Structure 1
Amino acid sequence: MTDTHSNQILAAPHFVRGQLVEGNDVQHRSRDLGADFATPVLSLDQLVTPRSEMPPLLDVPLSEIIDFLVETGERLDLSTNVHLQECLERLSATNPLPRRVVENLYRNARHFLNKELLMSQVEVNFSNPEYLDRWITKTDMLGNVSSVRAFPSRMIHMLAGNSPAGCISSIAQGALVKAINLFKMPSSDPFTCVAILRTMAEVDPNHPVVKSMSAVYWRGGDESIEKTLYRPQYFDKIVAWGGGDAIKNVISYLGPGLQMVSFDPKSSISMIGAEAFTDDDSIAETAERTAADVSVYNQEACLASRFVFVEANQDNKAQIKKYCAKLLERLNVDREVSSAVAQPLPNDTRDEIEVLEAMGDYEVWGKGDGRGMVILTDKPVDFHPSNKTANIVMVPSLDEAIRYVNVATQTIGIWPPERKTDIRDRIASGGGQRVCQLGGANKHAMGGPHDAMYPLQRFVHWMADEDIA
């Protein structure tokens, strides 16, 4: 059996507590492209570490863990790593991202395991990183003595499917907090996580990091599996990435002792001041920056902009239309993490746009054929823009745009950058989680918060030992 043809069943092995598990016993179908793949039968007993068994990483110094992750990263070289090479072939059948984009993600995989990046995550999450290595003793103002430790937890990670390299960050975070980790892989990528763990095992098959990791696939919502695993006697936390249905499914299992850390579905927007449309050069720059943010992972990512609010009046409307036309050109461009042509818009969405355009409610540039589409309106469209579709919404001022920010708004790209300071507090009050310069949605400062939280703080089990006279 060859794995390179989409009409054949692809092999998706598991990795359980340091051991590769192969077999084509259970057949599945990927959600996005409908490709068939097969996995071994799950042994639920093997996925659970008894509470009586100490976490493998408990007494391993954080510095040693980071060194091991860095050494793993050095082996994530697509030109020599056969596991990544196999994944690249198989993902062409299951993942909607173009092969060239996945290849770029894999070529950058090693950067997720950079020593400075890993240390910065720990340092901004913990006032004292030594909480991870030992009990820290303090005396309060009344003379009471207590010791606190960030104890390793037992976690299930529901991995996201929109970025094949995203699992590397989850693996690194799970190792940094010394957790026992079970990664549930998505149907659009039931391969990459195992490839990373196999690479780790080649560094040292008996290393405690390797022994603390498992990666498997089951169909989300399978009660025969989840009713058994999603229990507080087995796991402390479920780290949930995914769509609304997946999050709701996890919530149904929560209760005392089992917490959810949710990176739930988000949407991102842009805000552009009138001064960005003063001349052809500024329009061209603004269009390029907007296209970069709209196109991230062909608009599959939460941080990809979908609604672009622009300050408009009767004097600059012609300039804004010129910007819309230029934006369409820049959407149809190959980029490192997006392709010139994405998947076409769904037919029902295209039909809806055509009707509203004919009625005069929309002005439209593009055809929804995956090469990009720009829709100019006075208020946001009712559907969720996707497949490189930008809804340009005219507002009298950026103050007016703030009312469209809510708790599901992740990233807000603002241009010109000096406008950002004036409105960031009101954006935060509206529920927004991150502001950046337009064009910088896919760029990140090392160690910053994610989805308005510092995740590593929430991944550990904070344990206290108190001596009070």
Structure 2
Amino acid sequence: MKKYIPMIISGIIKENSNTYAREVLLNNNTLFIAIPDETNIELAINNDVKNKLTLNQIINFLYTVGQRWKSEEYTRRRAYIRDLEKFLGYSREMAKLEANWIAMLLCSKSALYDIVKNDLGSQHITDEWLPQGDCYVKALPKGKSVHLLAGNVPLSGVTSILRAILTKNQCIIKTPAADPFTANALVSSFIDVNAEHPITRSMSVMYWSHNEDMTLPQRVMDNADVVVAWGGEEAIKWAVNHTPPHVNILKFGPKKSLTIVDNPEDLTQSAIGAAHDICFYDQQACFSTQNIYYIGDRLNEFINELEKQLMLYARILPKGDQSFDEKAAFSLTEKECLFSGYQVRKGENQSWLIIESPLNSFNNQPLSRSVYIHQIYNISDVFPFINKNTTQTVSITPWDSSFKYRDQLAECGAERIVESGMNNIFRVGGSHDGMRPLQHLVNYISQERPSSYTTKDVAVEIEQTRYLEEDKFLVFVP
């Protein structure tokens, strides 16, 4: 039986669509993804469903959906896990963890409230006019948010959609060929809970290829009020080239991350954290550690501990399937490093790779749980490898060392500083790629107080005509 991924247009699954479907090969399995035609594009961009819900109502709806994802018997969750295994090559453990995280994000009601509060200053500002300074201010949705998702980190798409929902925006979601499942499964679960809900009806999920006619996709882009673009350099360039000049783009482009191990007393604990930051998503994420910089004189002992922990992760969170090319890149990197005289250790069946190399020597990085370890003697040795706009996460162990180095790391361009083992958890209140994303998904509208309102500096009514007639303006200058 052929696997077919339908479109979802304004909250309606187009199961029996007769439109063109693109054939895609994933993990040596064929599936077909529906391509929207002019009619479906028109329906999506002309969707006039308005989200008049309060934040409380929005979060309660998400929580209800999340409770379904929390159940291991939920049919859509089980199908999602199977799809990640079969088509994306995830191990069973990886696929299950992805579904678990979806449940966690949806069910964390307090966190969802706090995300709005921390990004926008108040959890009430999207619902009502708040007094701020000499004004009343309210945050209104931008309108139609177009999400260009990436396939390497499924949860990034979930996060993108949730941010738009929390700010009451409509969503037109372009799924990547590398993961046509996550957004579709999430929005389908909205339909399962309430097909007529305003959030459900404000969702469209579709796919197009950058190698085909861009006429219809361009109409989507031309009708966007805000664009959220995820992915590599080419994906971000495409978004920039096809977004109208007046439309704001949130760009979550390619970044790299690293770990600093600062002479820890507890080598085992430090190795556990570093191993997690290497293994999560098999280094496909921007926050994944690719290089470790070790300060101290116990490097060999640390590498021994890291090897043990990578072996543990090979058991508790097995890596996904690798293509022939990925396996070849892994082997080539190993051979190159051995030829260069570096110390190399690897796990069975290419489950991981540790390379001890000089500070300024970098070979290929095949990802797939491959890490370069560099001996350094001072924190300043790592500064040349932290760059603005390209370095996202610096994970540090032990945690106390982060307070010693955070000012210098921030000045170099690090965007996040986390404890080793926590690189995949974006704490509420933190930034994402140097920004507070929800602020870019709303328009702040101000109702400014009238002339009769006196201020801290001017304790009389503002009678500008009188000031001009009597030439007394300077009397009121504080």
Q: Same fold (TM over 0.5)?
A: yes
| Alignment counterpart, residue 251 of structure 1, candidates 221, 225, 240 | 240
Measured after TM superposition, the shift of residue 430 of structure 1 is 1.2
Give me the identity figure in percent: 22
Aligned to 1:390: 371
Q: Is the 8 A contact 2:330 2:350 kept in 1?
A: no
1:95 aligns with 2:74: no
User: Structure 1 residues 356 and 162 mapped into 2: Cα distance closer, same or farther (>3 Å)?
Assistant: closer
The one-character-per-residue Cα deviations of 1:430-454 (angstroms, maximum 9, x if unpaired) are 1111111222223343343222211
Amino acid at match of 1:129: Q
Measured after TM superposition, the shift of residue 370 of structure 1 is 2.6
Matches of residues 222-261 of structure 1 in structure 2 within 5 Å?
222=212, 223-231=214-222, 234-261=223-250
1: CA distance, partners of 2:5 / 2:286: 27
2: CA distance, partners of 1:341 / 1:139: 53
Measured after TM superposition, the shift of residue 116 of structure 1 is 0.7
Aligned to 2:382: 401
- Pick which of 392-401 and 94-103 moved more: 94-103
Residue 382 of structure 2: SS of its match in structure 1? helix
Measured after TM superposition, the shift of residue 468 of structure 1 is 6.9
Q: Is the 8 A contact 2:346 2:354 kept in 1?
A: yes
Residue 150 of structure 1: SS of its match in structure 2? strand
Amino acid at match of 2:190: M
1:200 aligns with 2:190: yes
The one-character-per-residue Cα deviations of 1:349-402 (angstroms, maximum 9, x if unpaired) are 532541342232x21111694311111111251433501011001122122112
Aligned to 1:106: 99
1:262 aligns with 2:244: no
Aligned to 2:53: 60
1:122 aligns with 2:116: yes
> TM-score normalised to the size of structure 1?
0.86
Q: Unpaired runs of 5+ in structure 2?
A: 452-478
Matches of residues 62-211 of structure 1 in structure 2 within 5 Å?
62-113=55-106, 114-136=108-130, 140=134, 147-211=137-201
| Alignment counterpart, residue 440 of structure 1, candidates 422, 426, 429 | 422
1: CA distance, partners of 2:139 / 2:100: 37
2: CA distance, partners of 1:329 / 1:355: 24
The one-character-per-residue Cα deviations of 1:281-329 (angstroms, maximum 9, x if unpaired) are x3333322211111111222221111001125xxx3xx31232243233
Measured after TM superposition, the shift of residue 463 of structure 1 is 3.6
Q: Is the 8 A contact 1:137 1:146 kept in 2?
A: yes
| Alignment counterpart, residue 345 of structure 2, candidates 352, 365, 378 | 365
The one-character-per-residue Cα deviations of 1:257-292 (angstroms, maximum 9, x if unpaired) are 22210111111100112x32x6xxx33333222111
Aligned to 1:307: 291
1: CA distance, partners of 2:137 / 2:201: 28
Q: Is the 8 A contact 2:9 2:43 kept in 1?
A: no
1: CA distance, partners of 2:420 / 2:46: 51
| Alignment counterpart, residue 28 of structure 1, candidates 23, 30, 38 | 23
Aligned to 1:38: 32
Measured after TM superposition, the shift of residue 467 of structure 1 is 7.2
The one-character-per-residue Cα deviations of 1:86-127 (angstroms, maximum 9, x if unpaired) are 222222232132232111221342211121111011110112
> TM-score normalised to the size of structure 2?
0.84
2: CA distance, partners of 1:73 / 1:347: 40
Amino acid at match of 1:240: A
Aligned to 2:300: 321
2: CA distance, partners of 1:447 / 1:411: 16
1: CA distance, partners of 2:169 / 2:225: 10
Q: Is the 8 A contact 2:187 2:200 kept in 1?
A: yes
- Pick which of 336-345 and 124-133 moved more: 336-345
Aligned to 1:293: 277
Amino acid at match of 2:11: G
Amino acid at match of 1:393: H
2: CA distance, partners of 1:98 / 1:238: 32
2: CA distance, partners of 1:262 / 1:429: 21
Amino acid at match of 1:101: M
Greater helix proportion: 2
Amino acid at match of 2:198: P
